[in-house]
Amino acid sequence: MITVNNLPDLRQQIADWKQQGLRVAFVPTMGNLHDGHLSLLERGRQLCDRTVVSIFVNPIQFGKGEDYEKYPSTLEADRQKLESCGLDLLFTPNLKELYPGGMDVDTRVNVPELSTILCGKFRPDHFSGVATVVTKLLINVTANVALFGEKDFQQLLIIRRLVSELCIPTDIIGMPIIRETDGLAMSSRNAYLTATQRQLAPEIYRTLQKAAEKIQNQSNADFASIEIECMQKLELAGFRPEYVSVRRTSDLGAPGTNDRELSILVAAWLGTARLIDNIKVVTH
């Protein structure tokens, strides 16, 4: 496994591979890797000849008072996991590499409308920070494909849109949520949960499953009532929910009567951990 920490070396290695006619897959991460991340790498290895993973905790996607300073850093353990999975190149840049103009004045990428709903309503600058760093990484890695998990479904749609509208020649592949045996979506932030909270956390997924069943079993289901009921269930269980929302899967717009492919999305706090999840529903 090659490890590089600067853009010139990254570009040179990938140019060498491209010159040999090799296809490249890319998985951007913030580290503290779990099986969800590794499933992206595994799929990348199936699709391409060479794989690249980046580890970079991106400060501009964290809002004031969020967990940037305490976000878990496990670089050495991450290296061992990646090497054992057959990774070809690990990119570990520093701030100066990705923000040469300085974080306060550096250019920003913004995806309108989609970035201001759901999580964007509660984290106003978050998706601009994500879009900016992902754009920088995609431009430099020049991968044939890049893989992202569907747990961050709103993020996935934002990245697909920016790639399309900025004409970046990388195919974006969404990968299914990887869950613990009790249904909790894998996340680096699950490490913030106490033992008691960890036992409670799967209630998010159970609530989504019950909501999905209601939508599938009812013709003309009342989405607003289902959302309110889910919020109340989570509050009673000890969560502080930000939203539960039924949306059209294709663009996260409000579903119309003829929309059949829907997603139910949730964000809720449990102690100091902000947990997100979603589930897809296909109606008849």
- Sign of the Cα torsion 131, 47, 180, 176 reads positive
284 is catalytic: no
List residues with catalytic annotation. Answer: 37
